[in-house]
Amino acid sequence: MDLFEKCYRFTEAKEVMALGIYPYFRPIESFQETIARIDGKEVIMIGSNNYLGLTHHPSVINAAREALERYGSSCTGSRFLNGTLTLHEELEHRLARFMGKEMALVFSTGFQVNLGVISSLVARNELVITDREDHASIVDGCRLSFGKNLKFPHGDLTALESILAANVDRPKLIVVDGVFSMEGDLADLPTLVDLAHRYNARLLVDDAHGIGVVGPTGRGTAEHYGLTEGVDLVMGTFSKSFASLGGFVAGDEQVIHYIKHHARSLIFSASMPPASVAAAMAALQVLEAEPQRVTRLNVIGERMRRGFKELGFDTGKSQTAIIPIKVGLGMLQTFRLWKTLIEEGVFTNPVIPPAVAPNDELLRTSYMATHEDQQLDRVLEIFGRVGKAFSLI
């Protein structure tokens, strides 16, 4: 069979396009934090990961502009060779201090962090253990490692302990999301830290959706639980709360030094562009100076969870500013619901299998510290009206 045959047989997306309800790769004409312009119409954006609302903050934009003028548009090489600037190292020092760790290492994307960290640390005859709802970058990092990957059902730490007990003598790494990106629920870090210590395992927390979102000062899931020292490695990304692009891992100096010299996704990728590094550093400074943004974000999250529940929607296990609206109407009807909402002025993200189980379709909504109360009221009003029209409530 021709290699391209599977491409020619893939018709599902074009069939949905023909129906006029295809929701993905939608071009955004302009984006001003909480408002986006799509197809010439302004909509309230509740489908962004711009949690702190910093993508248009003057300090962030000015820092990016100054770095662009000073360093140019690109480093044109990897961190390993010609692509390390003093700017990269300054950001790493600041991140290490912010996260309460000895050292941090910056990658070009958050996805590459998990690819590089997991594949470089987990060697042949070693074990990486993951939650079944971990991010795709964790899944791919496990695939690239030479170790064995075992999975436990989402949040089932009894099952995790059974795996650990059966592999007492094997070197092992547990990897979990701190905040799970679809459901918005938190990992049970107190139990995870205890299990890791009792069974001689190491713990990596992917806090892409936790940093800037949870913890009294936005330092993430470990801070939320008071367990900064109990977590061995923390991964973060700049494409969410830090209003940029890239990612990092923070931990003990010797471990980060090892990753720095073995992570192929770092060594063989061009480094973060100067403007992106400067933007992330400026966003970090704003977060440190204005922790009230985190407080506001969580007030909004609680308000919207309560509002949706009062309307009769199922918001799953959400504990954060990520709030799923359970739909379960099948793919096409979920897309029709999404289209109706955007026509009414609200942008959300439809999630269908395989990202969720069959008949568990949902709309992923997420919020920013800069959302105004009247915008939130408008979102609830529209959801209430559309939800009734689709017999969801």
**Does 1.20.1440.130 match the CATH number of domain 58-289?**
no
CB 78 within 8 A of CB 106: no
**CATH code given to domain 5-51+291-389:** 3.90.1150.10
Phi, psi of 105 (to 5 degrees): -135, 130
In a 3-state reduction of DSSP, which class is residue 177?
strand
Q: Can you tell me the distance from the alpha carbon of 338 to that of 22, in angstroms, rounded to the nearest whole number?
A: 9
Identify whether 153 is preceded by a cis peptide bond (ω within 30 of 0): no
Per domain, the residue ranges of the chain are: 5-51+291-389, 58-289
Per-residue model confidence as pLDDT tens for the chain (393 residues): 899 999 999 999 999 999 999 999 999 998 778 999 999 999 999 999 999 999 999 999 999 999 999 999 999 999 999 999 999 999 999 999 999 999 999 999 999 999 999 999 999 999 999 999 999 999 999 999 999 999 999 999 999 999 999 999 999 999 999 999 999 999 999 999 999 999 999 999 999 999 999 999 999 999 999 999 999 999 999 999 999 999 999 999 999 999 999 999 999 999 999 999 999 999 999 999 999 999 999 999 999 999 999 999 999 999 999 999 999 999 999 999 999 999 999 999 999 998 888 889 999 999 999 999 999 999 999 999 999 999 999
Type of residue found at 209: H
CB 209 within 8 A of CB 366: no
Same topology between domain 5-51+291-389 and domain 58-289 = no
Residue the block writes with tokens 């253990």:
129
Residue the block writes with tokens 């662009």:
68
User: What is the length of the chain?
Assistant: 393
